[in-house]
Amino acid sequence: MGKVISVANQKGGVGKTTTAVNLAASLAATKRKVLLIDLDPQGNATMGSGVDKYEVPKSAYELLIDEEPFNDVVVTETTGGYDLIAANADVTAAEIKLMEVFSRETRLRNALHPVRDSYDFIFIDCPPSLNLLTVNAMAASDSVLVPMQCEYFALEGLTALVDTVSKISAAVNPGLHVEGILRTMYDPRNRLSCDVSEQLKQHFGDKVYRTVIPRNIRLAEAPSFGTPSMYYDKNSTGAKSYLALAGEILRRAELSGANSESA
Ligand code: ADP
Ligand code: MG
């Protein structure tokens, strides 16, 4: 069955979009069928997938507010080899309109219901806040992947996020849990990064991915060419780290599948 993962952190600039795009591309390269949903009105994941947010005829707005069929909204031509639900400025309007519609927390879940089993992985790139779009993402997800920079206030932000996950789990989506915590833009020469990283492991144990994403200029350059980094510079440490993360996620999924079968 398809796995739906929200990539979320209410802080901006921590590597959510970079993670969503590169992970989607890495898993698509392993022949998995992948869908990426851009829920950030900035549309960075859309542009980074080689889809022009100014030209795309339909976006998450049509899916969430007009309840248009998934197949009429999905974009199947991306540079990353995955399918895409695009975002642009219209998605800001969607956030406001969601407040007045029926079943406002579960619009995305309902929209994905008919197609979720046709994908191996569905990633949702969340906006940098805990608004109704993020609530929709989490209500539609099995789990939440949290990219974070190992900085001084990062742990505090993480507490707020974990709290939101618990609230959504209690209110609308009982199985929701933290999939994993990803250290991004990591610099092992920075003493503070190492300290925060240690604290993270103490608090969250195995939830912290072993794979670490280093600071790598290729990851920052690739979006301006409208492509995931593995198709921009496949030998870069950035591209390789996201491939390694994809491998780690696949292994974890297989392990938990095996465990639930034997249970
Ligand atoms: P978010 O979606 O959380 O706001 P982004 O993925 O857009 O964060 O990343 C913020 C900025 O940092 C972008 O310009 C992106 O290209 C850059 N960036 C992200 N990850 C890395 C990395 N590992 N190394 C270097 N630059 C990065
Ligand atoms: Mg983003």
| Backbone phi, psi, residue 261, to 5° | -70, -40
Closest protein CA for atom 17 of ligand 1: 220
Which conformational region is residue 44 in: left (phi greater than 0), alpha (psi within -120 to 50 degrees), or beta? alpha
Closest protein CA for atom 15 of ligand 1: 220
149 CB within 6 A, ligand 1: no
The predicted-structure confidence for 49-103, as pLDDT tens digits, reads as follows 999 999 999 999 999 999 999 999 999 999 999 999 999 999 999 999 999 998 9
157 CB within 6 A, ligand 1: no
Closest protein CA for atom 19 of ligand 1: 15
The pick from 18, 22, 225, 241 for probing ligand 1's pocket by mutation, whose C-beta has the most ligand atoms within 8 angstroms, reads: 18
20 CB within 6 A, ligand 1: no
Alpha carbon distances (Å) from 159 to 57, 94, 144, 186, 212? 38, 28, 14, 20, 21
The pTM for the full model equals: 0.97
Q: Is 33 helix (H, G, I), strand (E, B) or coil?
A: coil
Architecture of domain 3-262: 3-Layer(aba) Sandwich (3.40)
ipTM of model over 0.90: yes
**Quick one: pLDDT band at residue 255, thresholds 50, 70, 90?**
confident
CA distance 38 to 56: 13
CA distance 205 to 219: 27
Q: For the chain, which residues make up each domain, given as ranges? A: 3-262
- The two tokens of residue 31 are 């022949």
